[in-house]
Structure 1
Amino acid sequence: MRASVLLEAETLELQERAVPVPDPDQVLIRIEAVGVCGSDVHFFHEGKLGDWEVTEPLVLGHESAGVIVAVGSAVDPARIGERVSIEPQRPDPTSRESLSGAYNLCPNMEFYAVPGVDGAFAQYATIQSHFAHRIPDHVSLEAAALLEPLSVAIATARKAGFTAGSRVLITGAGPIGIVTAQVARAYGASEIIVTDVDPQRRAQAERFGATRTIDALTEPVGNLGLDVDAFVDASGAPAAVRSGFGEVRPGGTVVLVGMGPTEIPLPVSTIQNRELVVTGIFRYNNTWPLAIELVASGRVDLDALVTGRFGLDRVADALNSTRDPQTLKSVVTPNA
């Protein structure tokens, strides 16, 4: 099979590799669509992300979907031919975190496209059978791949407590901010306020459910009196993170999702005086069934997020495309 392999920062190589053989509990999937994530972009441009550093060849890509073409000895062969969305992780089932249900926090996690574990910018990949989620026939494989970022938004909604009538502030109108706005709408939020410095991204946010958008360069976020129930930062920008705290009602919730600096100052007195609940999001757990339902029912539109498609020989172009503010989701099609 062909695979796009990151050798070091800014250096990709299209290689011929053996098709992986599934373990007894795994399935082999012909990869048809892979979304480009911000983490892929960081690894490509910088060779690292947070505490992870690329020190050996790595296949990027973890937002993926395809068709099961083979199964391990412990998997029902009737699954061959299923169209599936991949939940790209392999936790240790015996860890304390996994046993409690929070398997996304398992310290022994093997996750696609993190150094040491190859991802899905390849023609084939394997995953445990229970993390190959069958999708309805009317859901596209591109949408199936994007169930992964949708799962991040669902995990965010759970932490933020989105419900009917919620008033929500989202800073950052990139892919995660846009999908989170869609989820907030699906949950019945009455106000969905999205901030971004780019007018094109603000216009996209309005297409996907924002009831109001704010230009953070011209309106003083932090002193607008928005009085929201939940603030979600999907930008990672320190200024955006700090400003959002000032718009949360007493007893409200702050969820940090965007990838930014390792440390930033926070308004501790505001957190204390308003008794704000502040938390983060690290991937997701038990989200795929709901994600599939939201897309299958039409309450969330993932197909409309796709703004570019690239073959396996153009992964670098796909990764660089995210610099264009009009890009929402670029998709790599390894078998096209």
Structure 2
Amino acid sequence: MVEWEGKEDLAFVLSVDRKFSFEPRTRPKPATSRDVVVRVIATGICGSDIHYWRHGAIGDFKLTQPIVLGHESAGVVEECGEDVTSLKPGDRVALEPGVPCRRCRQCRGGKYNLCADMRFAATPPYNGTLTTHYSLPDDFCYKLPKEMSFEEGALVEPLSVAVHSTQLAGIRPGNTILVLGAGPVGLLCCAVARAFGASVVVCTDIVQSRLDFAQSYAATHVHRMSGQPQEDKDALLQTLPVETTGFDAVIDATGVGSCIMCGIHALGRGGTFVQVGPGRPIIDFPVAQLCSKEGVYKGSFRYGAGDYELGVELVQSGKVNVRDLITHRFDFEEAQAAFESSSQQNGMKTIIYGYQVKQSWLAAKL
């Protein structure tokens, strides 16, 4: 049982030797006159959080000092800098957890997600949101409509990843789309594609229970992958109208080489392939197939301008349902148990409530 009665915040910390602990942290103040301090109410566990716990690094980002994990969060504004006019204490907000420099060529060109000086929560060396309070610029906090819960607000973060990648795929009404991987991001890509008007949305995975969920959630068809790219491609093409050459767009949310191979083979002529799951740094790639189709291969990284706003709108309008993805909920004191459960791929999405925010209290507030 965690007890903390001091004026400092309490944070859930991952040490360099990858052990968890609860530790006091200085309660933040607005870093600038345009920042706000948010009381964190709900935080989703992301695969990257699990990866840092299990492996201590993701690519070039290595755990060299203790870090607070968590970046999928929503909460209540408690304090505003003197120049903040868009928010006030008491506002319920979703937090966009990456703050760019705003000055570099990428930022000024509208691609701030590619900023080399991005300060992204729970990416070393920057602390995340599994703490009592979190400070963020006001324009990276998005008001939640009264119809949206804190849980739904927290899941705007992974939804924005799906919004960004699906927009890169250029989905238009009537398009056919293949989504490789039925994890949370893959499922949300299916949902966003349906919201954008795709007529055929096929989702793949190797776990039947995830495919069953995808079928009931947003996919029009599902396919259990065999690991044989040509065999899987032939089965996938059976879901399409006979006059098509392949899928208009493919989104890979796995990073698995055999899935990428299959996706390129299943891509239609002139189609677009979007890579969301990074996977291994080097894989075998069917470049001749891509060239002969004059296909377009795009990388997708997090989210950019307008993606969070669109995510909130999609949830508010009922076009995308993120609530059904939430299968496990834990109080703050149970954060380690939440990570252990999530690492075993129990369910789809796990929510951790903020410190001293009980599930019973939250239910009464909604």
TM range (shorter): over 0.9
Bigger Rg over Cα? 2
Aligned to 1:22: 30
**TM-score, normalization by structure 1:** 0.97
Whether the aligned pair in 1 keeps the contact of 2:202 and 2:223 (CA below 8 Å) is yes
Q: 2:303 pairs with 266, 270, 284, which one? A: 284
How much is the aligned-residue C-alpha RMSD, in angstroms?
A: 1.4
Deviations 1:273-306 (A, max 9, x none): 1111001111111211111110001111111111
Out of 208, 212, 237, the position equivalent to 2:256 is 237
Inter-partner Cα distance in structure 1 for 2:37 and 2:343: 33
Task: Summarize the alignment of residues 308-323 of structure 1 with structure 2, pairs less than 5 Å apart.
Answer: 308-323=328-343
Matched, 1:39 2:48: yes
Name stretches of at least 5 consecutive residues in structure 2 with no aligned partner: 1-8, 238-245, 358-366
> Any idea what SS the aligned residue of 2:131 has?
coil
Q: What TM-score do the two structures reach when normalised by structure 2?
A: 0.89
For 2:26, give the aligned amino acid: A
Task: Name the CA shift for 1:170/1:77 in 2 (closer, same or farther; >3 Å).
Answer: closer
Residue 12 of structure 2 is matched in structure 1 by 4
Amino acid at match of 2:12: S
CA distance in 2, matches of 1:307, 1:159: 29
Structure 2 CA distance for aligned equivalents of residues 9 and 266 of structure 1: 36
Work out whether residues 151 and 284 of structure 1, in 8 Å CA contact, stay in contact via their aligned partners in 2: yes
What is the aligned partner in structure 1 of residue 162 from structure 2? 153
Q: Which runs of 5+ in 1 are unaligned?
A: none
User: 1:118 pairs with 106, 122, 127, which one?
Assistant: 127
2:362 aligns to what?
none
The total of aligned residue pairs comes to 336
Task: Please give the alpha-carbon distance, in whole angstroms, between the structure 1 residues aligned to 2:226 and 2:158.
Answer: 27
* Aligned residues of 2:176 and 2:201 also touching (Cα < 8 A): yes
The corresponding residue for 2:4 is none
1:67 aligns with 2:86: no
Asked if the contact 1:232/1:255 (under 8 Å) is kept, the reply is yes
TM superposition outliers: structure 1 runs of 4+ over 6 Å: none
| Overall identity of the aligned pairs, in % | 35
Q: Mapping of 1:1-336 within 5 angstroms? A: 1-23=9-31, 24-76=33-85, 79-217=88-226, 220-224=231-235, 226=237, 227-286=246-305, 287-335=307-355, 336=357
The 1-side partners of 2:267 and 2:225 are apart by 16
User: How many Å apart are 1:218 and its aligned residue?
Assistant: 8.0
Residue pair 1:200, 1:325 contacting (<8 A) in 2 also: no
2:241 maps to which residue? none
Structure 1 CA distance, aligned partners of 2:344 and 2:323? 19
